[in-house]
C-alpha cells in the first residue's frame, strides 16, 4: 500500500481567513493510492497539463499508468484535470452520481427549450446561452462516463460516505498496520477546519455535514484534507 499527496489543493476563498469571496483558483487536493495492482488518483483538481507534470514529479507516473480515478464529489474543482486520464476507469459514489444527474438533465432540458423558443421567435440564441449549453452538455458526458464506485475499489481501499457538503460526497478509507487514513474531500477541507471542528458554510445540508465530520474524526488517525495536506487527527494520541 502506497499513499501520497500529488498536489495540495486550495479553497478559492477561505472563510476561516475572513475571505468572503474567491481570491484564488480553487482546486482539490489530489492523492495517489496504490493497492493490489490498482493505481488510483483521487480528485484531479488542477488543470490537466499542471497535474500531469505534478504526477511525474511526485510519483514518476504517466497518465496512462493510472488505472482508476475517484471523485469525492462532482464539483468542478475536483475534476478539472480528469480528461488527462482517458485510459482509466472514472469512479464516483452512486449517491453523488444520482444527486448530480437529475439537476443536470433538467438544466439541459431547460436550455434546449429556451433555444427552441428563441428559434421559434425568429431570434438566435444568445452567446451566453449557447456557452452554458455546451458546459452542461460536457458535464453530462463526463457524468455518464463516471461509473458508480464499488464498496471497495482495490484491496482494503473502501468507500466512506461523508454526505452533507454535497448529497453524496464520499471519501476513501485506507486501513494500515499502524494507522487508518481517510481521504476526506471537502468534508474536512483544511487543517484549520479540522482543528476548529468546522465545516464549509455553503453545505447542501450543514447538520449532515457536521455529522460526517464527526464520523471522520472518530475513525481516522490521518486525514487527507480536501483542500490541504495530510494531517494527524488532533483528537488522537500521538503515534
At residue 75, φ and ψ (nearest 5 deg) are -55, 135
pLDDT in tens, 163-189: 999 999 999 999 988 899 999 999 999
pLDDT score at 176: 87
Q: Which of 141, 144, 127 is nearest to 92 (CA)?
A: 144
pLDDT in tens, 61-97: 999 999 999 999 999 999 999 999 999 999 999 999 9
Alpha carbons within 13 angstroms on the beta-carbon side of residue 196 total 11
Counting DSSP H helices and E strands in the chain, the numbers are 5, 12
Q: Which of 66, 68, 43, 32 is nearest to 187 (CA)?
A: 43
Q: Is the pTM of this model over 0.85?
A: yes
Sign of CA dihedral 52, 53, 54, 56: positive
pLDDT in tens, 189-209: 999 999 999 999 999 999 999
Beta bridge partners of 92: 71, 148
Cα separation, 30 vs 159, whole angstroms: 17
pLDDT in tens, 3-59: 999 999 999 999 999 998 899 999 999 999 999 989 999 999 999 999 999 999 999
pLDDT in tens, 99-154: 999 888 887 778 766 656 655 555 555 666 778 878 888 999 999 999 999 999 99
Q: C-alpha angle 183/83/159, rounded to 5°?
A: 25
Q: Which of 88, 98, 90 is nearest to 62 (CA)?
A: 88
Alpha carbons within 13 angstroms on the beta-carbon side of residue 89 total 13
pLDDT score at 100: 94
Predicted confidence (pLDDT) at residue 218 exceeds the cutoff of 90 = yes
pLDDT score at 109: 75
Cα separation, 236 vs 239, whole angstroms: 8
CB 50 within 8 A of CB 81: yes
Taking each helix axis from N to C end, the angle separating 94-120 and 127-145, rounded to the nearest 10 degrees, works out to: 150
pLDDT score at 18: 94
C-alpha cell at 165: 457538503
Amino acid at each position: 500500500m502506497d499513499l501520497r499527496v500529488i498536489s495540495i489543493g486550495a479553497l478559492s476563498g477561505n472563510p476561516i481567513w475572513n475571505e468572503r469571496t474567491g481570491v484564488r483558483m480553487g482546486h482539490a487536493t489530489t492523492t495517489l493510492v496504490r493497492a493490489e495492482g490498482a493505481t488510483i488518483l483521487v480528485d484531479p483538481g488542477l488543470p490537466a497539463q499542471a497535474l500531469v507534470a505534478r504526477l511525474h514529479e511526485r510519483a514518476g507516473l504517466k497518465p496512462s499508468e493510472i488505472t482508476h480515478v475517484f471523485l469525492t464529489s462532482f464539483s468542478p474543482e475536483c475534476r478539472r484535470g480528469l480528461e488527462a486520464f482517458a485510459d482509466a476507469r472514472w469512479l464516483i459514489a452512486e449517491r453523488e452520481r444520482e444527486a448530480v444527474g437529475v439537476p443536470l438533465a433538467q438544466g439541459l432540458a431547460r436550455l434546449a427549450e429556451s433555444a427552441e423558443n428563441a428559434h421559434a421567435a425568429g431570434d438566435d440564441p444568445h452567446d451566453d446561452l449557447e456557452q452554458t449549453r455546451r458546459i452542461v452538455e460536457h458535464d453530462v458526458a463526463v457524468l455518464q462516463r463516471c461509473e458508480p464506485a464499488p464498496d471497495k475499489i482495490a484491496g482494503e481501499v473502501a468507500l466512506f460516505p461523508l454526505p452533507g457538503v454535497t448529497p453524496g460526497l464520499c471519501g476513501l478509507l485506507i486501513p494500515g498496520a499502524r494507522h487508518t487514513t481517510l481521504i476526506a474531500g471537502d468534508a474536512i477541507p483544511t487543517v484549520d477546519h479540522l482543528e476548529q471542528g468546522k465545516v464549509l458554510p455553503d453545505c447542501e445540508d450543514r447538520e449532515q455535514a457536521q455529522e460526517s465530520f464527526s464520523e471522520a474524526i472518530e475513525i481516522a488517525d490521518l486525514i487527507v484534507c480536501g483542500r490541504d495536506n495530510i494531517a494527524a487527527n488532533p483528537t488522537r494520541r500521538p503515534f
